[in-house]
C-alpha cells in the first residue's frame, strides 16, 4: 500500500527555522517525484515545488523560489520542506503528494503555526 506519512504539527515563532518531513512507503521512492502543496487557513491549494529523490533534482514554483528549500534522503525514503526564517504568513497546512497523472497519493498534512 502506497503511503506518505508526514511529521507532526509544529508551533514556531517568527524568525525560527523549521524542517518538516514526508516519508514514502509501499512503492519505489526513487522513481516518482514528490511535491509539496500549501493550504493557508480557509484558502485553496498552491503547488510549491517538487523533488526527484533519485537525483534530488528540484523545481520550485516562482511564488516559493527562495522562500523554502526542498530536499530528500532516498536512503530513508523521506522528503523534506525547510524554512530558514519563518513568518506569520507561513501559517498553513503543508501537504506532500506524489505526482503521477495528477497527485494520486497525499500525505495527511502538517499544520505549521507561526505566532509570537
Partner 1 sequence: DIQMTQSPSTLSASVGDRVTITCRASQSIDIWLAWYQQKPGKTPKLLIYKASTLQTGVPSRFSGTGSGTEFTLTISSLQPDDFATYYCQQYDDYWTFGQGTKVEIK
Would you tell me which residues interact with partner 1 (CB under 8 A)? Answer: 35, 44-47, 50, 59, 61-62, 95, 99-104, 106-109
Bridge-based pairing of strands 102-106 and 110-114 is: unpaired
Classify 91 as helix, strand or coil. Answer: coil
- Between residues 62 and 66, which has the closer beta carbon with respect to partner 1? 62
Question: Residue 23's beta-bridge partner residues?
Answer: 5, 78
User: Least distance to partner 1 from the beta carbon of 102, Å?
Assistant: 3
CB of 13: closest distance to partner 1 in angstroms?
25
Looking at beta carbons only, is 41 or 75 nearer to partner 1?
41
Q: How far is the C-alpha of 4 from the C-alpha of 34, rounded, in Å?
A: 10
Considering the complex, what minimum distance in angstroms separates the CB of residue 114 from partner 1?
Answer: 20
- What minimum distance in Å lies between the beta carbon of 24 and partner 1? 15
Nearer to partner 1, 60 or 86 (CB): 60
Please give, one letter per residue, the 3-state secondary structure of 3-49: EEEECCCEEECCCCCEEEEEEEECCCHHHCCEEEEEECCCCCEEEEE
Amino acid at each position: 500500500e502506497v503511503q506518505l506519512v508526514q511529521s507532526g504539527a509544529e508551533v514556531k515563532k517568527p524568525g525560527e527555522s523549521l524542517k518538516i518531513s514526508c516519508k514514502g512507503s509501499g512503492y519505489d521512492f526513487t522513481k516518482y517525484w514528490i511535491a509539496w502543496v500549501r493550504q493557508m487557513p480557509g484558502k485553496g491549494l498552491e503547488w510549491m515545488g517538487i523533488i526527484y529523490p533519485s537525483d534530488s533534482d528540484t523545481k520550485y514554483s516562482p511564488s516559493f523560489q527562495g522562500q523554502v528549500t526542498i530536499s530528500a534522503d532516498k536512503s530513508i525514503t523521506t522528503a523534506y520542506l525547510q524554512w530558514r526564517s519563518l513568518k506569520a504568513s507561513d501559517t498553513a497546512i503543508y501537504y506532500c503528494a506524489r505526482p503521477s497523472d495528477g497527485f494520486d497519493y497525499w500525505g495527511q498534512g502538517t499544520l505549521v503555526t507561526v505566532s509570537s
